Amino acid sequence: MARKKIVVALGGNAILTDDPSAQGQKAALQSTAQQLVALVQRGDDLVITHGNGPQVGNLLLQNLAADSADNPAFELDSLVAMTQGSIGYWLQNAMRNELNQLRLDKVVSTLVTQVLVDRDDPAFQDPSKPIGPYYTEDQAQAKMAQSSAIFKEDAGRGWRKVVASPTPLAINEIETIRKLVDDQHIVIASGGGGIPVVQGHDRTFHGVEAVVDKDEASQSLASALEADLFLVLTGVDHVYINFNKEDQERLDQVSYAELEKHMADGQFAAGSMQPKVQACMDFVKANPNSQAVITSLDNLENFLNGGSGTLIQYEAKEFLEA
């Protein structure tokens, strides 16, 4: 089997289960690593991305709880960088431990990754990504009066700070990542969607208060690397249409055009399956000779051994083995 370049986007369940402690997350990542080494055993080149939603939220709460003139809370871009480091460290060690058990001599490298966004992206004019704790309306109004922060009501559960979610334009460290992959390193990069930065007129980069969608950032990385396979691991084995209805239908093999129609019909939930499907559509459109797969971490071994997940190609031609 020819060696393939694979970008794996890990869902939250690959890192955080019921135990939010560092030890609990390390244990979850050890189980994740046991599944991912199957790709290495096949001889594939592997780049791993991951989310950081719960982790950056917890870190934000810790910063706010200790915030003072002598110990000021860090800004969001720095918190994303810190979670890239901590999760990358845990996953890097977990992967290395599994590789050592199998006597596979591979280097695992974690790269703190910045993602370029446009300072004029419309998302900055309409922040929509909730972060941090819930507040009452009065508390939120008071905070908005004291700062430039924006708070919005969140699904009847209270008011939360919202930040922009701009479109990723480029991965700043892409050449470094490409070189590491060419040297057959396993690379962990673009954690949490990457650290969002804008470029000034003097060509300097500056972090911004924003969150880049992790699935779209992952596909941006996969496209830049011209990956053969973009593998999105989430909580379900397949993508479905008419989900949880009597006529629910599992999608095993699906083209861009078919997904485009399902997207227009509102088949995929915003904030859940929709961004994953959209990221896969964007990837195969940009890389029509490559494939994308959406499945669960638990189903990965079955999929690799000829089982099913949702396999996505740009054209509805003969579907190739992933």
- Over residues 95-105, the pLDDT tens digits come to 999 999 999 99
Considering the entire predicted model, what is its pTM? 0.91
* pLDDT attached to residue 110: 97
Catalytic residue list contains 12: yes
131: β partners: 161
Q: Which of 12, 53, 57, 158 is catalytic?
A: 12
171 pLDDT band, cuts 50/70/90, is very high
**In which element (H, E) is residue 239 found?**
strand 239-241
* pLDDT attached to residue 232: 97
83: β partners: none
Is residue 177 a contact partner of residue 110, using CB atoms and an 8 Å limit? no
Q: Which of 4, 13, 24, 58 is catalytic?
A: 13
Query: Has residue 272 got a pLDDT over 70?
Result: yes
Catalytic residue list contains 261: no
Is residue 310 a contact partner of residue 239, using CB atoms and an 8 Å limit? yes
- 102 CB-contact burial (10 Å; exposed 0-12 / middle 13-18 / buried 19+): exposed
Q: Which of 132, 193, 194, 276 is catalytic?
A: 276
Q: Which of 51, 191, 192, 214 is catalytic?
A: 214
Q: Which of 5, 11, 51, 129 is catalytic?
A: 129
